[in-house]
Structure 1
Amino acid sequence: MKEITHSFGVETDWVDHMVQQLDGEVVNGRFIVPREVYTGSHYVTSVSPHITVMLADMTYQQDVCYKLRNRNHDFVGIYFNLNEGESLHILGETARPMGRWKFNLAILDSALDVDYSVKAGTKTFNLSLFVRKSFLKEYLTRSHIFTDVLDHLFDDAYNTIVRYDRMDNHAWQVIHDLQRRDPNAISFDVFLQASVYFLLASCIDQGLNRDVLIQKVDNTDIKAILAAQSYLLEQLENPFPGISVLAKDANMSETKFKRLYLKVTGMSPSSFFMDNKLTLARELLEDPQYTIAEVAHRLDFADPSHLTSLFKNRFGILPKEYSNLL
């Protein structure tokens, strides 16, 4: 496996060092890398003095592990990931599968050390935003958002920003529209920059529907919560296992477990579980071989009407109507 130790940042002084480790060069912001590493487009550009974007639309020809060790901790990384294949975010000893049908959105403090492992054959489409914390704080202040926690939200002494989630439908559509664009077209940069601002606004809107908890977390805490997330995702066809079971597995009190889970996901464990169960139900209904009754049975809903009610509350449409739209 090829290992690359690098940093990100709003300033693009990290680009040359990263590309050199890939045995390549940079031409007009584009990574020119040997085909035996990967094929496709890898592109970095500054959107503003406060935002830089990196677009990676590639197929890996060999295993690569990127070890992110940021020199500057003045930004937040927002990572949209529509990979098809095997790719992992690794925090400490905990691996988090990332990709189109898994967690496809990560919002991470630049102070965190993260490894990103990609297997040969993986098709990647990643959009990474590096946004200065001071810019985000100013924007939220002017918008009167998170005013009760804003003083400490971006302060490393009080808070660690870490969240794994699934992008909302609006962000998903923007990413797909971007994926269909020709990166060599004259208008591509304009469309990319417009997409960046839309996606940033989408993340903020999505954050408004999540609780924000100010707290420092260490790698041991993150490892335990991510392990609990993975376990819950494996149990979507079963009943919710209960806070006592999850807290015991995490070696925490129930109070601490619920608080940290809220910190990392923005949701309570039970809400996270049901939200992902309904998302899976929606994905199953996209396959015409499944009826509503079969999906309800498979995912352990009490009956089809129970699924129908929760589905309507979550997505604003009845399951039958959703299936008919496909």
Structure 2
Amino acid sequence: MKIIEHSYSADLAWVEPFAKQFEGRVEGNFIMVPEDSQSGTRYFLECEEGIIAYYINVTYKKNYHLIQKNINKDFVGFYYNLTDGEASVSGDHFRYDVGRWQYNLALIDSTLESTYVVKSGSKTFALCIFIKKSLLETYAKRNNIEFENIEKIVDPKINTMIRFDRMSNDSFHLLQDLRKLKVGGPVFDLNLVGTVHMLISNFLKKIARNRIIIQTVNKTDLANIINAQMFLVENINDHFPSIKVMANKANMSESKFKNLFRKITGETPSIFFMNNKLLLAKELLEKKQLTITQISDQLNFTNNSYFASKFKAHFGISPKTYIKQL
């Protein structure tokens, strides 16, 4: 496995060193990597001062362990990742597979160190957006997005920006439309800039609708919350454990655990658990190997009616109707 330590930033200072780490070179806006390491495209663009887009559509031919340690701490990264294959994000004491919980969007503060491990044969289509924190307040106002305490949200002394999420259908389709275009040139650049602005706007509008928890997050707290998520997913067939049990496992008070969990995932622990239980139920229905009753029993729903009501509330369709449409 090839280990590469690198950094990003909301300017283009990271590009040349990054290319050299991959034993590659920069040609125009392309990062050219040797064919024995990967095939495909890496493309970067300064959308405007303080906003950088990094477009990746590659197939890896080697195992990589990418360690991100940012030199500049003044930006936040939006990572839209549609990897098909084995890839994971990790920190000092946590690890999660990309897409495992349908997470394909991460908002990660530049103050946090992270690791990306990807296996040979994996296909990655991703768009990374690096934006200076100081621009977020201006950006929100320019797009009429009302944030409560926006000045506190972007203040690194009192808040760490961190969120693992699922991209909206609109964002997914924006990326798919961009993917159809030939990379490079004025037409692609125009579409890339437009996509970047729409993705940022979509995400900011989404998080602005919810209460944002102003709080710094250290590596240990982040690891404990992600490990708590892993515990919930690994025990998805059971009933939801109490907040007290989860907080004890995370070595936190109940109030701190609930606040941090919601800050990082955008959901309460119980909603996170139920949403993932329903996603698994949907996958089981699609396999057509179990009946609705068997799935309800396997996932420990109280009864079929309760399962059906939760499923319909989440997906807008009953399990019975969903099966008929498959």
TM-score normalised to structure 1 length: 0.91
Report what 1:217 is aligned to.
Answer: 217
SS at match of 1:187: helix
With 295-304 and 77-86 compared, the bigger mean Cα shift is at 295-304
CA offset digits 1:171-229 (Å, max 9, x no partner): 22323333344336863333322222222222123313543100111111111111001
Q: Structure 1 residue 96: deviation in Å?
A: 2.1
SS at match of 1:275: helix
Q: Does 1:194 align with 2:194?
A: yes
Report what 1:132 is aligned to.
Answer: 132
Report what 1:236 is aligned to.
Answer: 236
Contact 2:237-2:299 within 8 A present in 1 as well: yes
Residue 17 and residue 219 in structure 1: after superposition, are their counterparts in 2 closer, same or farther (change >3 A)? same
Residue 213 and residue 250 in structure 1: after superposition, are their counterparts in 2 closer, same or farther (change >3 A)? same
Report what 1:107 is aligned to.
Answer: 107
**Inter-partner Cα distance in structure 2 for 1:10 and 1:241:** 41
Residue 270 and residue 74 in structure 1: after superposition, are their counterparts in 2 closer, same or farther (change >3 A)? same
Contact 1:181-1:188 within 8 A present in 2 as well: yes
Residue 180 and residue 302 in structure 1: after superposition, are their counterparts in 2 closer, same or farther (change >3 A)? farther
Q: Structure 1 residue 154: deviation in Å?
A: 0.6
Identity %: 38
Contact 1:86-1:119 within 8 A present in 2 as well: yes
Report what 1:259 is aligned to.
Answer: 259
Report what 2:87 is aligned to.
Answer: 87
Q: Structure 1 residue 169: deviation in Å?
A: 2.3
Residue 232 and residue 219 in structure 1: after superposition, are their counterparts in 2 closer, same or farther (change >3 A)? same
Residue 253 and residue 196 in structure 1: after superposition, are their counterparts in 2 closer, same or farther (change >3 A)? same
Report what 2:146 is aligned to.
Answer: 145
**Inter-partner Cα distance in structure 1 for 2:137 and 2:115:** 27
TM-score normalised to structure 2 length: 0.91
SS at match of 1:297: helix
**Inter-partner Cα distance in structure 1 for 2:3 and 2:315:** 42
Contact 2:91-2:115 within 8 A present in 1 as well: yes
TM-align CA RMSD = 2.2
With 206-215 and 78-87 compared, the bigger mean Cα shift is at 206-215
Q: Structure 1 residue 74: deviation in Å?
A: 1.8
With 105-114 and 252-261 compared, the bigger mean Cα shift is at 252-261
Report what 1:68 is aligned to.
Answer: 68
AA paired with 2:283?
E
Name the count of aligned residue pairs: 325
Contact 2:145-2:204 within 8 A present in 1 as well: no
Q: Structure 1 residue 311: deviation in Å?
A: 2.4
**Inter-partner Cα distance in structure 2 for 1:308 and 1:194:** 40
Report what 1:273 is aligned to.
Answer: 273
Contact 2:301-2:307 within 8 A present in 1 as well: yes
**Inter-partner Cα distance in structure 1 for 2:289 and 2:36:** 40
Structure 2 unmatched ranges of 5 or more: none
Contact 1:82-1:125 within 8 A present in 2 as well: yes
Report what 1:226 is aligned to.
Answer: 226
**Inter-partner Cα distance in structure 2 for 1:181 and 1:283:** 31
CA offset digits 1:229-265 (Å, max 9, x no partner): 1111122222112212211111222222112212211
Structure 1 unmatched ranges of 5 or more: none
SS at match of 2:227: helix
CA offset digits 1:33-55 (Å, max 9, x no partner): 11121111111112222321111
With 168-177 and 157-166 compared, the bigger mean Cα shift is at 168-177
Residue 206 and residue 287 in structure 1: after superposition, are their counterparts in 2 closer, same or farther (change >3 A)? farther
Residue 48 and residue 258 in structure 1: after superposition, are their counterparts in 2 closer, same or farther (change >3 A)? same
SS at match of 2:120: coil
Contact 1:210-1:267 within 8 A present in 2 as well: no
The residue correspondences of 1:158-197 to structure 2 (distance < 5 A) are 158-183=158-183, 187-197=187-197
SS at match of 2:89: strand
Report what 1:26 is aligned to.
Answer: 26
Contact 1:211-1:266 within 8 A present in 2 as well: no
